[in-house]
Structure 1
Amino acid sequence: MAKVVKTKEDLDNLLEDYHFMPQDYELIDIPTRFEFDEDIPASSFMHDVWVRFRSNKGAIIGGCVIVFFIIVSIIAPMCSQYSFDAVDTAQQSMAPRIPGLTWMSWFNGEGGIRTYTGDLANTYHFFGTDVLGRDLWVRCWEGCRISLFVAGTAVLVNVFIGILYGMISGYFGGWVDAIMQRFQEIVNSIPTLVILTLLLLVM
């Protein structure tokens, strides 16, 4: 019959008449096991992240593309002589023209309403201009900068709200956790496009 051990005295009384026998133990071949052990140096969390990231070719390519767009969106508007909001009707609807590539029909500046003649002979617009004469190259990278800023801000806000929401749900638990998780499931069941459309109509 099994005995219930509640206190140290009960354990001592149980083991008082118990005698350990040699067959109660099994010797492990420790030297043999140690031959296959390998000392691995300790590494930080960021080092593990970098190793995993470096081993994923898709992540490397995607990261390089993102870094490229970030760098160009910062440098391109700064290095250009044009402003993204400068209106010049004398240069409206001009075709793309890139120095060194004018031998290509796509980048020779022909086909636009305004031509690169006269005072505009030494003018270059990499992506051409719009109907108000604004340089599309600068406007493109200025819009890319704004889009990246909005995307980064949205990610940070989502991470902050998600961590705070999860911490509150996990800390209190019980009915608080149940209500918060049901609300989260309801929100996730609604298509994002519907929510964005409603926000667009309201705001």
Structure 2
Amino acid sequence: MLRLCLSPRTGVPCRRNFAHEEKTRTRKPETHYEVLNISTNCSSQEVRNAFVKLSKLYHPDVKSNAASPERTARFLQISEAYKTLIKPKLRRDYDDSLLWKPSRSERSPVDEKGNPIQPWDVKPNFDPNPRPYYGIKGVNRVSNWQVALALMAIGVLGALFGFTSVKHSFNLSRQIQDEVSANANSHHAAVVADAQKYGNEEQVRRMIDRMARSPFNQTASK
């Protein structure tokens, strides 16, 4: 479709091909595979061969390409496609980008009423009338600050219980040690008092009697 328009500089009528401009604007950009004219499942050697073949046609050092900006720009596209597809990791990332590239219908979704939904629209994911929490009847959802307070209370109670348990264990252990020490002191005082009352000779006689009644000495004598 051709239409007449006025040049903004000279005011002279000019012709514009709006159909060509619309086609140019809506034309889908070429992929790296289309630039190199290869298939998407080609090997690395095929990528290299395609690059070498196209470089001979579009390289700027060729005399016929020196004065052609279009062919120079095409060579840059060929080089970019080769650098991406020749490396396995870059090629996998590029293939993933092609697979996940949204289509036109995916870019402009519509809601139930037919109104377009923008990609940045954020919809609330909560229900104003929630059901029972985890399906338990009578248990309603609670807010985050209530959960935080409950956890803090449990933590304080746990700390108090731990402190009380440690203190009680320490007191019990100390009481047992005091009882053992008191019994030892009592026995030692009784031994000292008995020795002072009967003298060394009586202590020696008692020791000899105990040794004589010992089962080990009786066994040795037999």
Question: What range describes the TM-score normalised by the shorter chain of this pair?
Answer: under 0.3
TM-score, length-scaled by structure 1: 0.24
Greater share of residues in strand:
2
TM-score, length-scaled by structure 2: 0.22
Bigger RCO (CA 8 Å, 6+ sep): 1
